[in-house]
Amino acid sequence: MPDVFIISDNIISPLGITTADNFSKLTRGISGVKKHDDQKMSEQPFHAALFDRKEDFINDSFIKEGSSGVYTKFEQLLIASIKEALKNSGIDTRNKKTTLIISSTKGNIDLLESHAADPALKKRIALHTSARMVAEYFGFVNPAIVVSTACISGITAILTGMRLIRSGRYENVVIAGADTISKFVLSGFQSFQAISAGPCRPFDQARDGINLGEGAGTLVLSSSQKYATGKYAQGIKVLGGSISNDANHLSAPSRTGMELCSSITRALRDSGLSTNNIDFISAHGTATIYNDEMEAKAITLAGLQSVPVNSLKGYYGHTLGAAGLIESIVSVHSLKENLVLPTLGFEEMGVSKPLNICTGLVSASLKNCLKTASGFGGCNAALVLAKQ
C-alpha cells in the first residue's frame, strides 16, 4: 500500500485564520472560549468559542461578482480553510486523481431558524448541496464525498481519505470539516444538560459538561513523493486508524470503554506500532462526566495510561464535525515542534482510571501520536500520525 503523506493544512477558529496563528496561541495558553450573553441563542449566558457574528470569511472577486450572498457561513468557512490549505499544497483540484471530502455534523441546520420549511429549504440544507457548491468553487472534477458520523466525523473523513489513497483510486485527497453554532445546536446540548456552566474542564474532578465551538479545518493528503518531499511537505504521515461502535445507547457512551479500546488497538495494528511507540495522545476529552470516564477506561485497557494525554476542548470548545480535523492538525504541529500542549482547565484527576494528563507545555522528542474521538450513537475512532 502507498504511504499517505500530509502535504498541507489549515485551521480557522476564533483563535486565528491560519494554523500558525492557532498553534502560536495554543502554546501561550490562550483560549477561544468566552462567556456570551446572546438572547437570540440562549436565554441564559453560556461559554463557547464563537466567531464575531459580523465576520466575513470570503470576500474575493469571484464571490462579489458572480455569487454574492450564495454561500452560507458554514460554506464560507469551508471555502476559506480549503483555499488557505491549497495555497500551500501545490495540488491541482482538476486532476482526476484528486478528490474532496467534506466533514460536518450540522452543516446549514441554522437555516431552519430563518427560512420556511419547504422543498427548497430541504434541498438547500442538505449536506450534499454544500459539498457540491464547495467542490464547484475550486473546480474539483470528481464529486465531493460527505462524511457525517457525529463527533468522530473529522477522523472518519481522514481515515476515508487514507483508505481511498491506499486503494489506488486517488493520489490526492483534500479533507475539510466545519460546523457553526446556532440556537438549534446549543439548545440541543442544553436539553441533555451537557453544557458547562463555565469554561470546560476535561478529565477534572469538577467537570460538568462541554463548551461548544465554531471552526473549520483542512488537511491535504497525498501518496505522491513529489509532494511528500517538496517545499510544502509537513514530514508527517497518516499511519493508520480504525472505527468502532458501542451499540450501547443513542447518547450515552459505553460503560466499559472496550469499544474505543478496540479502535485504539486496531489502529495500532494497522499502523504497525505497539503501545510503546506512542509518544502522546490527543484525546476527545469533552469534559462531560461519562465521556471522560469512558475514554480513561479505554486508554487504560489499551495499556496507554502512562502516555501523556491532552484535550484541546478548553481552547476550542467542541467544534463537532470539525473537531477531529482541527485537533489532528494541532497534533501534526505538535509532532513537528516536539511540543505537547497542556489540558486547559484540568486541575484534579476526576476519572476512576488515572491518566497522565498534561498540565503544562511539555517539550520532548516526539515521533508518533494517537488521536481518539467518540460521539453520539456510540461511535468511536482512533487515528495514528507519525513523523516520516
- Strands of the sheet containing 46-49, edge to edge, are 34-36, 46-49, 212-213
C-alpha cell at 40: 437570540
Separation in Å, CA 262 to CA 132, 251, 258, 320, 344: 35, 19, 6, 22, 28
Is residue 284 within 8 A of residue 277, CB to CB? The reply is no
Is residue 177 within 8 A of residue 237, CB to CB? The reply is no
Residue 46 CA to residue 194 CA, distance in Å, equals: 12
Q: What is the mean pLDDT of the chain?
A: 94
The pLDDT tens digits for 338-378 are 999 999 999 999 999 999 999 999 999 999 999 999 999 99
Residue 345 CA to residue 313 CA, distance in Å, equals: 9
Predicted pLDDT at 251: 78
The pLDDT tens digits for 257-305 are 999 999 999 999 999 999 999 999 999 999 999 999 999 999 999 999 9
E strands in 141-279: 145-147, 172-179, 212-213, 215-222, 236-245
Q: How many CB atoms lie within 10 A of CB 359?
A: 12
- CA dihedral 191→199→219→22, nearest 10 degrees, is 150
Residue 99 CA to residue 93 CA, distance in Å, equals: 7
Domains of the chain: 5-228 (3.40.47.10), 236-387 (3.40.47.10)
pTM of the model: 0.96
